[in-house]
Every structure is written in C-alpha cells, then in structure tokens.
Amino acid sequence: MSGPVRIGRVGRPHGVRGTVTVVLDNPGSTLLARLPRIGIDRGGGDRDVLEITRADPRDERRWLVDLAGVGSRDAAEALVGAAVLADREAIDLDEDELLVSDLPGRRIVEDGRERGRVISVYSNGAHDVAVVRTARGLVDFPVVPGRVIDVGDEGRVEVSGFDDFEDLAYADGTAETP
C-alpha cells in the first residue's frame, strides 16, 4: 500500500521563527526523526510537501518541528489544525505491526472464526477504534494490546474478547457474509 498516511496534526506555533508543534497520533513514535519531509493537508485539496529541517521530541506525543519555507509565527499559525502526512513507503514496520490506516478491509478473526470486517477506524481520544461490520450490525472494537493479538499477512487480524463488544452492535446487520 502506498500514498500518504496521516501521522498527526499541526498544533500551536512555538516561538516566533516558524517552529510548529506536531501532535502525533501514535504516542511514543520516533518517525518524525527519520523523515526527510512531511505532507501538510489543510483540507479542501490544499496540500503541501515540506522538508523537515529539525524535529525534536518535546514529550511522548508532541514534537517541535522546523519546516523549510515556514519562517515566521504567522506562517506557523496558518498550519494549525492541518493533518500531518507521511509517505506510506517511508514508514518501517516490524513484521507483526500494521498501521491503523491499513485496517479497513481486514477480516476480524477470533479463535479461528471470522467475526466481521473492518470498514473504518477512528480515534476516541484514548485509543483507536475499528468499526467492524458483522451479521448483527456495526461493532466498535478497541485497537489496543490484549484485544488485538496478531496481525496476519492474509488480510486478517486475530482478536480477543470480541463478544464483549458485539453485544453493543448498532445499526442494521447485513444479510451478506461479513
């Protein structure tokens, strides 16, 4: 899979020289230290690719980033709220890892039984949540350690405790196999 992947958003400016705060979607990630450039998506088709000239972690989630062409506080303020994107091919993953953006379309399997298929993912502020279409309806399933057990390369995700959440299914189920 290639193309841009959201890795965070631009927070408030830092100082007067154009430094921006980037708030990462994945706390603890060091990806910004390895990227030569990022995409800035302000929405409405307004997207730029900017060279990173400096990226320093401030805490687990926030980084101070200098971008080529962003040299003033006003320029930095114009980016606040924009999505920060990375080229999918530039992101190195371990064998058992995947990006949350790779979840849609994958099958959810528990104890060898297919439970449904991921149709979308959102963040509830504390963690990511996969929306899974099942025969009973839509199920919001947390994407957290202990619930996501294994990521298979056959388009499946092995999970634990799906029944705890399937009882909370909403919307109408489909007559088709999930």
Task: Considering only residues 155 and 58, tell me which one the structure prediction assigns the higher pLDDT.
Answer: 58
pLDDT of residue 51: 97
pLDDT in tens, 66-110: 999 999 999 999 999 999 999 988 887 766 667 788 899 999 999
Burial tier of 141 (Cβ tally within 10 Å: 0-12, 13-18, 19+): buried
Task: Considering only residues 44 and 64, tell me which one the structure prediction assigns the higher pLDDT.
Answer: 64
Q: Which of 144, 147, 167 is nearest to 159 (CA)?
A: 147
Torsion of CA 84, 89, 93, 97, to 10 degrees: 80
User: CA–CA separation, 159 vs 169, rounded Å?
Assistant: 17
pLDDT of residue 1: 44
pLDDT of residue 175: 43
Task: Considering only residues 3 and 18, tell me which one the structure prediction assigns the higher pLDDT.
Answer: 18
pTM, rounded to two decimals: 0.70
Fold observed for domain 4-90: Elongation Factor Tu (Ef-tu); domain 3 (2.40.30)
pLDDT in tens, 99-153: 788 899 999 999 999 999 999 998 887 788 999 999 999 999 999 888 988 887 7
pLDDT in tens, 23-60: 988 777 888 998 999 999 998 878 899 999 999 999 98
Is the domain 100-166 a CATH 2.30.30.240 member? yes
pLDDT of residue 63: 97
| Percent of the chain topping pLDDT 70 | 92
* Residues in a beta bridge with 129: 122, 142
Q: Where are the domains of the chain?
A: 4-90, 100-166
Integer distance in angstroms from the first to the last C-alpha of the chain?
23
